[in-house]
Structure 1
Amino acid sequence: MSATHMDEATAAAIRELPPSAKLVAKVLEHNDALTQRELAERTLLPDRTVRYALSRLEEADAVTARFSVTDARKQVYSLN
């Protein structure tokens, strides 16, 4: 686990998002990359809420999604 510090532009974009998106971003800030399932487990948010938070973060260009190297069916999310 390593911390990634977000830049001012990313922080400003996240500031206007719902609390669930802020929580997901904070968890991603303290972890390199996580799947949707891992985010749900670490935030204790329902899967649907994590999906919504990730979509809002993607719209704000705050996270990047890529396919997992170990399982191409899963996507891994990380902060920009």
Structure 2
Amino acid sequence: MSATVAASTQESSDRWEPVRELPPSAKLVAKELDRHEQLTQTQLADATLLSTRTVRQAVSRLEDVGAVESRVSFRDARKQLYTLTL
């Protein structure tokens, strides 16, 4: 393996370090947010097939470790948009 590939692999694995010890549901939500720029809780539930309660708990855990940020949706102020910060 070349030094560049090894460094890239190391950076990639370090990127996910904050979520390594989290439950599988939180990891799934993080991976889905990695695929999309931002999603609402309902969109995350639909994409992951998790309940909205489980998504809410997963997002809360991800926010606790600094892996996710939320902001109010401009389209609907009742909804939060979640973004992966890793």
Structure-1-length-normalised TM-score:
0.87
The residue aligned with 1:16 is 21
Q: Percent identical across equivalent pairs?
A: 55
- Aligned CA RMSD, in angstroms, stands at 1.6
Unaligned runs of 5+ in 1: 1-6
Residue of structure 2 equivalent to 1:30: 35
Q: Summarize the Cα distance change of 1:57–1:10 in structure 2 as closer, same or farther, 3 Å threshold.
A: farther
Structure 1 residue runs of 4+, over 2 Å off? 7-10
Relative contact order, higher structure (CA 8 A, sep 6+): 1
TM-score, normalisation: structure 2: 0.82
Q: CA deviation at 1:53?
A: 0.2
Flag structure 2 segments of 5+ consecutive residues without an equivalent. 1-11
Higher helix share: 2
* Deviation sequence 1:39-79 (CA, Å, 0-9, x none): 00000001110011000000010000000011111000000
Q: Number of residue pairs matched? A: 75
Instruction: Kindly state the Cα deviation for residue 10 of structure 1 after the two structures are TM-superposed.
Output: 4.5
